[in-house]
Each structure stands twice: as C-alpha cells, then as structure tokens.
Structure 1
C-alpha cells in the first residue's frame, strides 16, 4: 500500500459529450497587432472542439484560443461540436477549406473511434497534423480501501485464481478500455471488464462495492484517497515514469509491466492539403503558448501538463499511436 501525496490542485478530466453545438467567442482586451510576417492566423479562426463547454478538452482549447488571440490580434472562436465520439466535429473540419481557418482541437481518442468503427476515416491519413501535445498526468488503478489487495501483484494474483470474476471498471471503447487491454495482455490477468461509465460513476461503484477495481483519472481520486475510502495501486500514462503529482505511487511500467504505457495526446488537425506554411504557423503558435509560464501553470493546475512537439515528431507519434491502438483493438476484438 502506498500513501499518496498530491503536489498540486486538480480538476476533473475530459468532459462528457452531448448532442448539441455551441459557439462561444473569446474576447481578450489589449490584443497585440498582427505581425507583418505572420502566416497564421490570417483572419478569424474557428477551433472546432468535439466536447461540451466545461470539460477538460474544452478548457484546454479555450486556454490556447485566448493565447492565440492575445498574441496575434486575430479573432479566435471556440466552437463546441460534441457527438459521435468526435466524428461530427472531425467531418466538419475535413470538409472545410484548407486555409487554417477551421481546425480541429481534440485528442487521440479520435483514433480509438476510427479503429473501433465509430469514425470512418483514419485521422492519421486524412488530415494535416499541425501539432501534437502529449498530455501529462495519469490514470490510477484504484480499489476500495477495504479490499484485500495491497498491491498490483495482489490484484493480478486474485484475478488468476478466479478468472473473469474480478470486475475492472472502464469506459468501453474509450482510453481506459485500451489501458485495461494492455494490462491484461502484459500481466496475464483475467479480469471481467465492465462498463462503469465516467469517472464520477466509477467512484460511486468502487465505494459501493459494485466493482472490484477501476481505472480513474488520477486527480479525481485525490479526496477519496485522503478520506481513506480508496487505495491507488499504480498509475498508467503515456510515459514510463511516475506521475510527479503522486510521487509515492509507482507506475505499472516501473512494476515490470513495460508495455502498459498509454496516454492521450491533444492535437490540432487541419483539412488535407493545408499549406505547409500554415501548418508551421499553427505549430509555432502552440510552441509559443507552451513556452509561456502562465499558460504552463494553468495546464499544470488542471492536472494536464502539456508538451509541445515539432511537426515531424508529432506526425510520427500520431502514426505510431494509430498503429498501437489498431493492435490493441484487434486484441480486444473491437474491430
């Protein structure tokens, strides 16, 4: 068992999708004039966000939009277009003019939608990849504090002794489903994967004993661990290291499950055939934003530290992630 020490504030993770579209402009006073050599933005820009207002994806897009506008003087509008796991928004951008004025702000969950049949176009092939932003933070493999499992090895051993009897709460076809698949593959554990809904529902079910374990956004476990209701056994993220926000908790990679590395990347995608100079301009704008200490602090305080990647590196990572998700999709029988 590990005592958790959280090193910063937190908020809930990605917001739930809904079936309506909301357009919300962002106004910033005292904007700077457009630079003479500026290629992007050239006119009003719409950031199409496949999430409802108020969630983590929406909040991240608004932070970026505000910075773009304040630095360039251009009008930047966040357009909330939930629905279809990102498919509705993706199609809106795919059909737009390739001028950098209509772009998709989302995350690699869209790849999961594609590989499981929820979206019919491979995002790694049909869009211009302006920038990828790996998201820090982690998910927590969590159990009830009254459970007998003090470690990951305890939980894995129990699943092997009684195959398919221990329930592991996930969101089917979402990120936690893929994390669970990698964990089962690497550990030879045999859990009963159950649809437990979003994190709020998982927390209720864990405390009520309806599920044995769950994968939950780590910041969301904070108050329950501190109150003695839940226990975190390990974390999973897109990198092998411990989550610095919970330095006393080992990562599954650290515990020997070296292929259990899975995280979300935010990205900005554009219509195909968007000019290279426009893609470079978007990439530079994100680099500038993530070099601003105030912007970095805002993301850190949300429990979502972001990293900037150069265009070529981001494109390669997008393609590798697509291949990984395809492999796990086949393993889980979701294709």
Structure 2
C-alpha cells in the first residue's frame, strides 16, 4: 500500500471513529449538567418557565440544568452566546418569540430564528398575557380605551419595551382598532408594573402572574386577555374577541441548541420535555406561578408554528421599525 493510500485509510478510519463516538455521546446525553441561557432577568415569565423546566428535567434525567440569566441587547446577547457555543448539547437557549422572531422583525437582528439555532421544541405557551390598565386611567374594558383614544388621539399612554413583544402587541391592537396611542419605552415587566402603579402610563401588556395581586387590590384592572379562546385559569378576564376584536397573541417559548447539534440530542430534549408536560406537578407549578395551562409542540410542529408566527409578524415590520 502506498503512503498516500495509508494516510487516506487512516483518515477514513479516524472519521468513522469520531462519528461513532459522537453518536454514542449523543445517545448517552445528558452526561453532565446542561447550561440554560435565559436572555432575561430573574423573576420574569421566561425565567420562571426555564427554572420550572430545569427542576423537572433533573427529576426525569438525573442531571441538573444550570439556568444562567444573560440580560442586555433585547435578548440578543444571550442568543449570540448560544449561537456561538459548541454544539455538544451542553448549552441550550430558552427564550420566547419576542426574542427569536420579533427581534428580527424590529431590525434588532438580521437573521431568521433557525439560521444559527436548531429548534428542539416549544415547551410552553404563555396564554396569560393581558392588557392591563393602571388605577389612575380608569380603564376597565376595551371599549373604554377606544372611546378615549378616538376622542383624543395620542393621549392614552401605552408603556412598553420598544422593539419587544409587548411593543408589537400594542401596535397590532392599535392597528386593528384604528386608534392612536402614545408609546413610551419604560423597560421590562417589572418597570411596567412600577409605571402603572405610579400612574405614569395608562396601559401595558404583561403576563398575568406578576400582577394578579394588584388586580385583587384594585390597583390595576385587567382590560383583556390576548387569547381568542379564553384561558380558564384567568377567571373572568374577557378576551379581546369577547369585546369585539380578534387578537390572539399567546407567547410561545422555545428550546434551541447551537446549529449543528446532533439530531439525537434534539429529539431527546423534546422527548424529555414532552414527558415533563405530562407530570401533574408540572401543570400545577405553571398554574400557581403564571396561570399558564400546559402546552407542548414537538420539533416539527414547533418549527411549523414559529414559521407561521414569523410570517404573521413580518406584516408589521415597517410599523415596528418606524416606532422604535
């Protein structure tokens, strides 16, 4: 055998060995703690869902998940960190469509959600999103908001995080209802709550969990829930559809790995998450924390859902970018 053939044969054997090792490694996943990058601060809805998942992941697999909060850049810093991580299954991204799709629509990033990430599944959908008013505004229904906004355009103040999911919710509400609101960048969910309580803004879109106590005390009113089919865990809060307008904007969360992660690992993660969603204790944790029903979409369904959401949201690209 010539030297060239010997070297070639050795290279082929090495490649085969590497492939075999990679498949074996993927089949054994997880073999060590898995880092979960959450592109948001502690205490919010994304962080809550990630930490709840992590707790039950360890219960199923015997391996812990380490949740790391990476704030900044409207979620783009955390997203880039995962995109550039080694695709070995030991780092994953837990975010929602506001990060992976709305950021593209708003111009914060210049790429489609799956260009540098492999989507494993949609582990949950936040169906607890509500349009909330501060006590000072006096708004308790959609009709009251429309009445004032039409009589005095740009006087109803909508607090948001410019370029984010709640910003898009406000823009779609405004467009569908034919009104003009004043958009004010106040920041994260906790900042919106502070601004509502202080009377600096009239409206905001937030997950129900962190504000449910304020609804009970009367410091805030729940104007509408962003579901065409009412989330029964939200009690008597009417949907937009109940009040004459279809506005269904539940917020899907996503689990994704760096591009190039083994399909075996991606499937295992989706299968583990599907198993978690069947645990009654998990369902109770979601209900107690954020009045969130259990939802789940496996890999193919998840990608289909995200592509549909992206197509819908791209209709508002110019509007979202002009309002930034």
Which structure has greater helix proportion? 2
In 2 relative to 1, CA 60–249 (structure 1 residues): closer, same or farther, beyond 3 Å?
A: closer
Structure 1 residue 235 and structure 2 residue 225: aligned? Answer: yes
SS, match of residue 230 in structure 2? coil
1:109 Cα deviation after fit = 1.9
Q: 1:82 Cα deviation (Å)? A: 2.5
Deviation at 1:240, TM superposition (A): 1.3
Q: CA deviation at 1:53?
A: 4.0
Q: Which residue of 2 aligns with 1:295?
A: 282
1:213-236 deviations in Å (ceiling 9; x for gaps): 333332333333322333222122
Contact 2:163–2:321 at 8 Å: present in 1 too? no
Matched, 1:273 2:263: no
Q: Does 301-310 or 114-123 show the bigger shift?
A: 114-123
Give the CA deviation at 1:183. Answer: 0.5
1:223 paired to 2:216: no
> Any conservation in 1 of the 2:131–2:206 contact (CA below 8 Å)?
yes
Secondary structure at 1:245 match in 2: helix
Task: Identify the residue that residue 306 of structure 2 maps to in structure 1.
Answer: 318
Residue correspondence of structure 1 range 111-150 to structure 2 within 5 A: 111-145=101-135, 147=137, 149-150=139-140
Structure 1, unaligned stretches of length 5 or more? 1-35
Per the alignment, in what secondary structure is the counterpart of residue 130 of structure 1?
A: strand
**Is the CA contact 2:39–2:70 (under 8 Å) kept in the aligned structure 1?**
yes
Deviation of 1:151 (Å): 2.6
Select the structure of larger CA radius of gyration.
2
CA RMSD of superposed structures (Å): 2.6
SS at match of 2:243: coil
What whole-Å deviation, never above 9, does each CA across 1:135-159 have from its counterpart, x for those lacking one?
2332332334464545311221221
The separation in 2 between residues aligned to 1:188 and 1:257, in whole angstroms, is 11
TM-score by length of 2: 0.81
8 Å Cα contact 1:124-1:318 kept in structure 2: no
Consecutive unaligned residues of structure 2, counting only runs of 5 or more, are 1-24
Give, in whole Å, the separation in 2 of the partners of 1:223 and 1:75: 32
Aligned residues: 297
Structure 2 partner of 1:154 = 144
Q: State TM-score, norm by structure 1.
A: 0.79
Q: Is the 8 A contact 1:108 1:264 kept in 2?
A: yes
- Offset at 1:205? 3.5
